[in-house]
Structure 1
Amino acid sequence: MSNRPNSGSTQPAKDRPANNWKTFFSLVNSAKPSKPMLIAALSFSLVATVVGLFVPLFTKNLVDGFSFDSLSGVQILLLAGVFVAQMLASGLSIFLLNKFGQQILSGLRDILWRKLLYLPLGHYDREETGGLISRVTNDTNVVKQVVSEHMSGFVNGIISIVGSIVILLMMDWQMTMVLLLAVPLTLAIMMPLGRKMHRISRNMQNETASLTSVLTQVLSEVRLVKSSNAEPIEYKRGKSGIAKLFELGVREGKIQAFIAPLMGIVIMMLMVAIIGYGGLRVSNGSITAGELVAFILYLIQIVMPLGQITAFFTQLQKAIGATERMVGILAEVEEDHASGERVPAVDHAIELRNLSFHYDQGEVILNDINFTIPHSRVTALVGPSGSGKTTLFSLLERYYDPQSGHIAYGERDIGQFSLSSWRSQIGYVSQESPLMSGTIRENIVYGLDREVSEEELRSVSRMAYADGFIDELPDGFETEVGERGMKLSGGQRQRIAIARALLRNPRILMLDEATSALDSTSERVVQEALNNLMRGRTTLVIAHRLSTVVDADQIVFLEKGKVTGIGTHEQLVASHDLYREFAEQQLRYPQLAN
């Protein structure tokens, strides 16, 4: 087994944190929001709530002693001051909590984005891209909402309820007991509805992630969709996800439609009971009219927060569900780019020794591979589709670790080198030549952490035979290439990819049949550019067409994950039956059939 650091494990992480409140608050804390800001926000919120508790008492005194003669300017100013103080404290609390929530949102997205970039390729073999995007966009927003929008309502609601009940007990315990009969009744109704709402919310999150995955997949490959006349099929897939979300939204609406009138009825019944019973007590002199008004106001301050508290717990459960998925991603083992030694300056051969590999628990892709890639020479990989050529490239780039055997650079396992140092030695030009949305300049210098001069840029463009078409474009190097470079032709994209590889000045070059998708004119130009790129470098080529590798210093023939032949073109034609058959079909050697 290879003893290299974890650079591309395909196994899921184990021992993930349990899904609970502690995990939720731990995740929020990892975003490093400002705790003083939270304390200030909750303090202002508490001030607004406490001030609100004294408003009914003010009202009681006004009602009991109301007359135009008794109404003084001081009382009016004091009451106005209370309302202004409450408004200012509430406004500051809302602003600070929103900013606190945005800090959490930004912090979590930053953590997840970095994690996703450093996860090994094996993670993306198991997870759909749309689902991962949903974790960064939707799930983080759910966590933010529970803190910035619901936490203050929960805290204030508890204080409002407790404070109101304490004051009411001091005013008249008998009427307070009548009022409190409605609290367990309301909770008995709201809690089951809250649990149903929680289940619906979690299902909506999952369906939203699924729909995001479908949309991302389809829109990223929209040309394939159109060329295959698959619009109706993909429309049905998207419509199915939309319909499921609609159904869940309707179910959520039904519960909300039940909760709102129910709360209205409960409040109305309490109002009737308090006004009726209170009116009786006012008439016999047990309480004053002002106390009855205060009771009604305190009743509102008890019943209304119940909805906020229920909403908080529903949103918290929703956020805990989102936390589970985010913590699952954060628990994955990421690639370690820094640990290890730098690749030595001296060129060495690359040796593959007893190399075997399979994806997860699937069938063996490479089985006991042994051969040497000599430095400063061209080695070609040839063989039927599915023989393991591309997987071998992935192992050389350390996207995955082999299950047994190892790859050596000179006498040292490549796992002893840091990932950043090893991958900086490799230039890769693929069949597709992927480009990032942006300008030609940005794509050529992509991944470099140093300034690139105009002279360097023009030099590598000239060697890649890209300067001609770039100069003809109105904006030259500042030309936008479009999403995935679709504003350029295949040959132009290939030449930009070659210029990018030249700028990196790699010692090891990996070409995945870089000319197979081009027309004959573009192929000739790109092949000349590749010849410039290959000069003096250790080069490994995946060849689907033998015409591109007949002059290779060494050809390795792979069949079903095993090396069945090594040699030059002439040697394999003479000694390897299947290679000879490939040559007869592709190179049309009539003499080979004799």
Structure 2
Amino acid sequence: MECRYMDTKPSTGNWRQFVALIRGANPPKLQLAIALILSLASTGVSLVIPLFTKNMVDGFSLDNLQPLHIVLLVAAFLIQTVAGGVSIYLLSRTGHRIVAGIRDKLWKKLLVLPVSYYDNSQTGELTSRMTNDTGIVRGLITEHLSGSLNGVISMIGSIVILLVMDWKMTLVMLVAIPVTVLIMAPLGKQMFKISKGMQDETARFTSVLNMVLSEIRLVKSSNAERREYENGKDGITSLYRFGVREGKVQALIMPIMMLVIMGLVVALIGYGGVRVSSGLMTAGELVAFLLYLFQIVMPATQITQFFTQFQKAMGATERIVAVLHNEEEEDAEAGRPVPSADLPISLERVAFSYKPGEPVLSGVSFTIEPGEVTAIVGPSGGGKTTLFSLLERYYSPQSGAIRFGAEPIGELSLEHWRKRIGYVSQDSPIIAGTIRDNICYGTDREVSTDEVERAASMAYADTFIRDLPDGYETEVGERGIKLSGGQRQRIAIARALLRDPSLLMLDEATSSLDSKSEVAVQQALDNLMEGRTTLVIAHRLSTVIDADRIVFIEKGVVTGIGTHKELVGSHPMYREFAENQLKLSVDEMVNVTS
């Protein structure tokens, strides 16, 4: 299977990754522009109010107080309120739209990642990327970004006006900025490290929860509650420690900010009082100065919160981007069309390993003839299921080739190739939903009730479905927990029948069933196999004996190919396998081969 990379690689700068992630989510630019314009309007009005107050204080008297001034002041407050509210709403809506775009990209990416990626990743961690990390980014945009944008505009506007009013007083106030930056910068770095560790631990804890809760019956039957409690408690304790560390940093940030603010207020009132008494500034200017100070201080608090959340969002961004830049499966629709004719499938010296230096298959060569049954047998761990994975194109051979007719299957359309395959495994997966949902799963067309019932009948599933209270609308529970093993297998066979595959792959489909269920499932499999090219990892004796061809694999190497009779006479290991694994006695062997 060919894999392709995304066009760009992750940037080394966290903020650049964040900006690229936001841009990649296609934010609504017009909506964002309107929000920013309204934010500017709201801030502009707020910057005029202190000047209006200054004039009122300097020339205050009942005679000078005109109704028009009161109307204008009320109108200013109303405009500020409405414009600010609409701006915050639009920015919040934009934020949710951006996060929805990120989640859409991430979900799409997770679905096109190859099986090999999931072999090395835990489901809980990927769930955390999809929910927790995107939630952190959402919180930054919807809860902090709008207030911070208004705050930055308010601070800049206030500082410009103050410089015009009294640059000496303004310089006294601005001395606090470098002091604050020197204190806040190391705290911000510490917050980033804490946030990154907390997100990692959250992902691990989510993984533990998913594993334990999805396998709760195994946990209870194994008396493993105490062990799993300790595992969960370790995660809870670790998250608690990160939370305490985060609290310590926040406990420093907020008091320091308040100290700076109170120091500024005291210094400005003292220095301003001296200037007022000396006639260098008016009382109205001092009042306006203090009002502008609050228009700087209040946004500064919001910006501090934004700064803290931004550090968290950077850690989340790193993990999201890491997932988005993993190798993908090839485009499912790319490649040449799959020939419609039933052609032989040839494996030519196929070699494969999951880890370097640990070969699973070595030089495997054999042909699956159309319309015939080919059985794969051999000791456990010989690579039989891996062969199925290669045929499904979950992995690509490290060397050798698999051909459909003369065409390498890697050059054929992946989507069309997999449509030709029906796969029934030892423990066929069942999704949460109804029986009808499971039978129709993966069918890309409208399926009639008659088709569903016909498939269920051929799979011998209709006998138990009719006995259920809701029939085909019966909910099967998570992973089909409400159904027996034989019932799950027959639903999987009905699903394969509905797909009408030309290549059928059976991976020990009856090995875990009791004798009664095995008979019903085998009858269903006989219906499914009729007229189809079938590749089966054999467990049942009759399947092996009746197969047109048997391929015996030991430790990833094909050591024998032939019919049952041929291999019994020429292959000692197969003869031993027939006696032991297939429970075939010497007398039966003689009867079969005679």
Question: Do structure 1's residue 17 and structure 2's residue 10 form an aligned pair?
Answer: yes
Counting only pairs closer than 5 Å after superposition, residues 401-480 of structure 1 correspond to structure 2 as 401-480=396-475
Q: Residues 322-350 of structure 1, C-alpha deviation per residue, up to 9 Å, x if partnerless?
A: 22322222222322211122222221121
What residue number does 1:399 align with? 394
**Counterpart amino acid of 1:353?**
E
Counting only pairs closer than 5 Å after superposition, residues 16-165 of structure 1 correspond to structure 2 as 16-20=9-13, 21-165=15-159
Question: Do structure 1's residue 582 and structure 2's residue 580 form an aligned pair?
Answer: no
Instruction: Judge conservation of contact 1:439–1:477 (CA < 8 Å) in 2.
Output: yes
Q: Secondary structure at the match of 1:450?
A: coil
Deviation of 1:451 after TM superposition, in Å, equals 0.8
Match of 2:2 among 6, 9, 17: 6
Match of 1:539 among 513, 534, 544: 534
Instruction: Judge conservation of contact 2:439–2:495 (CA < 8 Å) in 1.
Output: yes
More displaced 10-residue stretch of structure 1: 284-293 or 43-52? 284-293
Query: How far apart in 1 are the matches of 2:198 and 2:226?
Result: 25
Instruction: Judge conservation of contact 2:17–2:317 (CA < 8 Å) in 1.
Output: yes
What residue number does 1:350 align with? 345
Query: How far apart in 1 are the matches of 2:100 and 2:377?
Result: 48
Query: How far apart in 2 are the matches of 1:406 and 1:555?
Result: 20
Deviation of 1:212 after TM superposition, in Å, equals 1.6
Q: Residues 437-487 of structure 1, C-alpha deviation per residue, up to 9 Å, x if partnerless?
A: 111111111111111111111111111111111111121111111101111
**Structure 1 unaligned spans of 5+:** none
Deviation of 1:155 after TM superposition, in Å, equals 3.1
Match of 1:172 among 166, 171, 192: 166
Instruction: Judge conservation of contact 2:195–2:315 (CA < 8 Å) in 1.
Output: no
Query: How far apart in 1 are the matches of 2:284 and 2:7?
Result: 64
Match of 2:316 among 322, 329, 347: 322
Question: Do structure 1's residue 287 and structure 2's residue 281 form an aligned pair?
Answer: yes
Deviation of 1:33 after TM superposition, in Å, equals 1.7
Deviation of 1:591 after TM superposition, in Å, equals 4.3
- The percentage of aligned residue pairs carrying the same residue is 60
Query: How far apart in 2 are the matches of 1:443 and 1:453?
Result: 14
Instruction: Judge conservation of contact 2:549–2:563 (CA < 8 Å) in 1.
Output: yes
Match of 1:376 among 358, 371, 374: 371
TM-score (norm 2): 0.94
What residue number does 2:197 align with? 203
What residue number does 1:516 align with? 511
What residue number does 1:237 align with? 231
What residue number does 1:212 align with? 206
Query: How far apart in 1 are the matches of 2:160 and 2:258?
Result: 24
Query: How far apart in 1 are the matches of 2:307 and 2:234?
Result: 30
Query: How far apart in 2 are the matches of 1:282 and 1:158?
Result: 29
Instruction: Judge conservation of contact 2:375–2:535 (CA < 8 Å) in 1.
Output: yes
Deviation of 1:14 after TM superposition, in Å, equals 11
Instruction: Judge conservation of contact 2:510–2:540 (CA < 8 Å) in 1.
Output: no
Question: Do structure 1's residue 491 and structure 2's residue 486 form an aligned pair?
Answer: yes
Change (3 A) 1:14 1:94: closer
Query: How far apart in 1 are the matches of 2:142 and 2:301?
Result: 17
* Paired positions, count: 587
Deviation of 1:505 after TM superposition, in Å, equals 0.6
Change (3 A) 1:361 1:310: farther
**Counterpart amino acid of 2:227?**
I
Instruction: Judge conservation of contact 1:49–1:159 (CA < 8 Å) in 2.
Output: yes
Query: How far apart in 2 are the matches of 1:396 and 1:526?
Result: 24
**Counterpart amino acid of 2:241?**
E
Change (3 A) 1:13 1:389: farther
Q: Residues 526-554 of structure 1, C-alpha deviation per residue, up to 9 Å, x if partnerless?
A: 10010000011111111245454222221
Query: How far apart in 2 are the matches of 1:13 and 1:233?
Result: 42
Instruction: Judge conservation of contact 1:198–1:315 (CA < 8 Å) in 2.
Output: no
Match of 1:309 among 300, 303, 308: 303
Change (3 A) 1:459 1:545: closer
What residue number does 1:365 align with? 360
Question: Do structure 1's residue 505 and structure 2's residue 500 form an aligned pair?
Answer: yes
CA RMSD of aligned residues (A): 2.0
Instruction: Judge conservation of contact 1:16–1:328 (CA < 8 Å) in 2.
Output: no
Q: Residues 281-325 of structure 1, C-alpha deviation per residue, up to 9 Å, x if partnerless?
A: 222332222222111111222233333334334433433332232
Deviation of 1:203 after TM superposition, in Å, equals 1.5
Query: How far apart in 1 are the matches of 2:121 and 2:85?
Result: 43
More displaced 10-residue stretch of structure 1: 278-287 or 396-405? 278-287
Change (3 A) 1:439 1:459: same
TM-score (norm 1): 0.94
Query: How far apart in 2 are the matches of 1:345 and 1:123?
Result: 32
Deviation of 1:590 after TM superposition, in Å, equals 4.1
Query: How far apart in 1 are the matches of 2:309 and 2:207?
Result: 24
Deviation of 1:271 after TM superposition, in Å, equals 1.6
Q: Residues 359-416 of structure 1, C-alpha deviation per residue, up to 9 Å, x if partnerless?
A: 1425110000011111111111111111000000000111110011111112221122
**Structure 2 unaligned spans of 5+:** none
Deviation of 1:188 after TM superposition, in Å, equals 1.9
Query: How far apart in 2 are the matches of 1:355 and 1:40?
Result: 60
